[in-house]
Structure 1
Amino acid sequence: MGNWRSKEPPPPLVLVPPLFDFPPLAARTRMLESSYDVLFGKLALKCLFEDYFDEASHFSTRIMLKPIDDPHVDLVATISGPLHHISEEKIVGNALFRFQSDVDDPHTFMDLFVSNSHPVLRMRSCAYYPKYGVGAFGIFPLISRKRTTPEDYGTMGMRYGSGNLSLGVTVTPFPRSNEFPRSAWLVSKMGRITAGVQYEPLYASKDDMRLKDLRNWSCAVGYGIGSGSPLSPSFNFCLELARGSQFIASFYQHVVVQRRVKNPLEEDEIVGITNFIDFGFELQARVDDAKTSNTISDSMLQIAASWQANKNFLLKGKMGHLRSTLSWAFKSWWRPSFTFSISATRDHAAGNTSFGFGVQIENLREASYERADPNFVMLTPSKEHLADGMLWKIGKRPMLQSDVNSGNFDGLPKELRPLGQFQII
């Protein structure tokens, strides 16, 4: 008796909210894409510059559902269009039905895409064998309103990938095309440096001149650190020469910070919360002597940043020479989850501001809102995190330190694990 008087108080805990969208939906189909198009921070920058930035004077709705009894299939349906009926634009509706043989591995799948635009019906299939690092894929528009390019008849590809090397080729065999290959890429990773080259014969020329035409080639080199998990900070800087005429410099950084919890509804032992801050910029400039090289359309600079304050609120903004956009998103982690976003876009040339709205319902990704898992508690070698007075000492604010830093992600939910070595393929 009397032991209840000497009971130690619970240790301080730090909340780690789930990211709004991780892994990104684009990561589910990266086996169909060239590694050159998704590495060098391109996938992260695409999400930063596009997600939750609703088009001005437009609305968008997206429903992403997975049956409870069969997690191998899911459905993604979208409806988007102008807010004003007087616009000549029509409302676009799409639906994507996907079958994935392994719930935890998105690299082997088959999906069907239906739309009221182009193409009307499309099938995609991909098979990957991690033991050998070999994969094959195909994209086939089954029903299309027009077939003017070789891609309208279908595309097939082969690829090889490992932790340090990726190479692949795509062809358009239906009908027989004189462009072979349709595209090819080679990407290699050496420590923190990634370098790659890609060939796409988009410019018509004689068959024996396509390989010599620099406009059909792109090359890039990038420097990056970080594991790819949202719980670990990451950094990526890339220089690219696209099609022999466009120079692109890009930078992306994912920051994990912790701040005090100022929510009176939380328990006393909750002393901090993890925030996720992302920042990126992209500069494009022409390097050839084309007559249009002095126009504003040949050079572009855009900057974007996002701040996820907790599991419910996300604030994003981006700025460019033509327009700037500020977006706010609210997410309720019900099952299925509900997300509402509103964007305000300022057109610098016209001098007006317009708004866009988005609604999303989803149960594809599971929420992981951690409180007591030791992987997510602020840890220091001296256990100073157990003393309230040491947690927030000026100049010594602790960061996330756990098995995450050593690359051990076995204890993490799959939604918070890094994209892994598949990033290179």
Structure 2
Amino acid sequence: MVAASLPHTNFESCSGREGFTEGEIKMGNYLFKAEAPPPVVLVPPLFERPQLTERSRMLESSYDLLFSKLARAKLFRDYFEEADYTLGRIILQPADDPRVDVTATVRAQRTGVPGARVGGEAVFRMQRDANDPYTFWDLMAGSSNNILKFRACSYDPLTKLGVFAVAPVLTKKRVEGEDFGSIGFRYSTNLLSAGFVASPLMLDIFHSRAWLVSKVGPFTAGVQYKPYTSLGELQPTSWDDRRNWSIAVDYGTASKGVLKPSFNFCLEVIGDSKLIASYYHHLVVQRRVKNPLEDEAVVGITNYVDVGFEFETRLREDEEVDEALRQPTSMQLAASWQANKNVLLKAKIGTVSSVLAFCFKSWWQPSVTFSFAVARDHLTDKTRFGFGIRSENFGGVSYERADPNYVMLTPSKTHEAEGIMRDLNQRPVLQDDVDSGRSEKLPAELRPLDDIL
């Protein structure tokens, strides 16, 4: 048992030797010569867990989530949108029942801002299984129009069929179709997604929504029908009105795993009135580092860098187009850099405003994230500030050690996978597992998402 826990050694007879140097262990007549551990690179967890963003996607149209929309929303909004607020959020999950969790958010708008107010929401969620986020129900209570709302979703991975429903229990006023509740059906595979959503109280084609998205190689194309309502009108236009239809096409090598780089270029036409061109790139880079708090074998660290841009313009000058669509041409660039597991830096430059955000996360149990954002409004020449604090008790997250085969360093004799496997306290991230899709050995934060379009 003792020998099994010893470092990798070379056995040499030490008969006749009265002493031995540092790094050598003498047992009986044999000398155990310890070898230096192979160099490794730290692999930090993500600031925001991907599964928290994706777990409610089966309630939404795939058209509204694909074409890098989720990734771009995270890049262009997260930690930026609170420039006018002080935000607090907690996510709590009982240790004895991981199927249940509670999320509560409070936003206090900065004083001096016209219409300043305090709002928030709380969500109680229960899943069928802790590892199956697509079959669940939740109850949402908040200060918005829908005071109390019930949502439920069920998805069968064998038949690829899903059904979902949203029911506003308590509502201040019922104006839009969603205020009356909705029910939807979907078919989702890794290459095709189709579905529709209808309101049980408004069973007509004009109030229904439908989408169809397909993927062929690096190309993804989709179309969506979403009723268009003019200002001051509650009844949508007819189904053949071009303002009801949106189309998008995407080219890229989208990766569902955070450890693999990806990029997406997308063109989208919304309602025959707006054109959006965007590009998003997720990079996984490794930089050399000498951290006095880590072992000497740690020679580098993995960083996550995201960059992207959005260009939005009108396709036509038409008085019938609502004011919301008659906005000037705009463009924005954004980048984020996660330097380690504790520090995240984000910046955005746009024609409307520019924002800088700094985030610090302590991986205690529970973990706590502090964020600070400062924004400069180019239209009013005013500077805004915001602060946020978030806490979650998922815990148990730490650095992973990358297999030397995963490290982009000059190969040497010390680059042996078994060198890391000797340490029972470390779980190496194997590049072969990342490339082949074998993710059962990876921590949940680094596993690729389910292969559902």
Name the TM-score, length of structure 1 as normaliser: 0.89
1:407 aligns with 2:437: yes
Matched residue SS, 1:408: coil
Kindly indicate whether structure 1 or structure 2 has the higher relative contact order, using CA contacts under 8 Å at least 6 residues apart. Answer: 1
CA gap 1:375/1:52 in 2 versus in 1, 3 angstroms: farther
Match of 1:300 in 2: 330
Q: Is the 8 A contact 1:170 1:182 kept in 2?
A: yes
Runs of 4+ residues over 4 Å off in structure 1: 1-5, 379-385
Q: Would you say 1:148 and 2:175 are equivalent positions?
A: yes
Q: 1:172 to 1:384 in 2, by over 3 A?
A: farther
Is residue 203–residue 215 contact of structure 1 (8 Å, CA) maintained in 2? no
**C-alpha distance 385-357 of structure 1, shift in aligned 2 (>3 A):** farther
User: C-alpha deviations, 1:302-335, integer Å up to 9, x for none?
Assistant: 1110000000000001111111000000000011
Query: Where do 1:380-399 residues align within 5 Å?
Result: 386=415
Q: Which has the larger radius of gyration?
A: 2
Alignment partner of 1:117 is 2:144: yes
State the AA in 1 paired with 2:222. Answer: G
Are 2:403 and 1:374 aligned? yes
Deviations 1:175-222 (A, max 9, x none): x344445210000011111111000112369x9972321110001110
1:126-275 equivalences under 5 Å are 126-174=153-201, 176-180=202-206, 182-203=208-229, 210-275=238-303
CA distances 1:158-186 after superposition (whole Å, capped 9, x unpaired): 00011111000000112x34444521000
CA-atom RMSD in angstroms: 2.7
2:314–2:326 CA contact under 8 A, matched in 1: no
Instruction: Say if 1:218 and 1:241, in contact at 8 Å, map to a contact too.
Output: yes
Structure 1 residue 38, shift from structure 2 partner: 0.7
Q: Any gaps of 5 or more consecutive residues in structure 1?
A: 388-399
Distance 1:265 1:10 in 2: 17
Q: Is the 8 A contact 1:366 1:415 kept in 2?
A: no
3-state DSSP of counterpart to 1:405: helix
Question: Which among 100, 104, 107 is matched to residue 127 of structure 2?
Answer: 100
2:89 — aligned with what? Answer: 62
Deviation at 1:377, TM superposition (A): 4.2
- Runs of 5+ in structure 2 lacking a partner? 1-13, 15-25, 417-429
CA distance in 1, matches of 2:383, 2:175: 38
Match of 1:357 in 2: 387
CA contact under 8 A between 2:268 and 2:276: conserved in structure 1?
yes
1:343 and 2:373 matched: yes
Aligned to 2:304: 276
Q: Which residue of 2 aligns with 1:310?
A: 340
Change (3 A) 1:352 1:402: same
3-state secondary structure, aligned to 1:402: helix
- The Cα offsets for residues 112-147 of structure 1, whole Å up to 9 and x where unpaired, read as 001133211000000000100000000110011111
Shift of 1:88: 3.8
> Where does residue 38 of structure 2 map in the other structure?
11
Q: Equivalents in 1 of 2:395, 2:161: separation in Å?
A: 27
What secondary structure sits across from 2:269 in the alignment?
Answer: strand
Seq. identity, %: 47
